Amino acid sequence: MVRSADPGLSYSVVTITPQRQRLTLRGHLTVHQAAELQHTAIAVASRSTVVEIDCSDVQNLDTASLQILLSLYREVVEQGGTCELRGQTGPWRDVFRRSGLARLLPPEPVASATDAPAATQD
């Protein structure tokens, strides 16, 4: 797992399988953290066939960070891979929709009835 050295930007990169990695972003994604985030995005894109981008705990997102996420998408797709966007909730759903990112990245899978825990009776 890789973590950010910048206290204003918390992220982690977790290898799910050798071909799938999850980039989880938290906190404030602004131009001040863009260089570090760009470096990490390039590394993730070069190692993965599938990249999950989890933005569910992002508090602030500016256009520089949005451009980096779009660049990550482009790099992965150009290498024949796919990206999946997770955490399209609250205000970010509208930001991702307006920027076109939601159209490019498939949303997180919806749990099927077989994935749900069995109900118990008292």
The pLDDT averaged over each successive group of 10 residues in the chain (122 residues) is 56 90 87 84 90 86 84 90 80 73 61 41 43
Place of tokens 């997102």: 61
| pLDDT attached to residue 20 | 94
| pLDDT attached to residue 101 | 72
| pLDDT attached to residue 19 | 92
| pLDDT attached to residue 96 | 73
| pLDDT attached to residue 120 | 40
Beta-bridged to residue 9, according to DSSP, are 27
Q: What is the strand order of the sheet 82-86 is part of?
A: 2-3, 9-17, 20-29, 50-61, 82-86
Which structure tokens are listed for 118? 């069995």
Rounded to two decimals, the pTM is: 0.70
Contact 25, 52 (CB under 8 A): no
| pLDDT attached to residue 115 | 41
- Which domains are assigned to the chain? 2-104 (3.30.750.24)
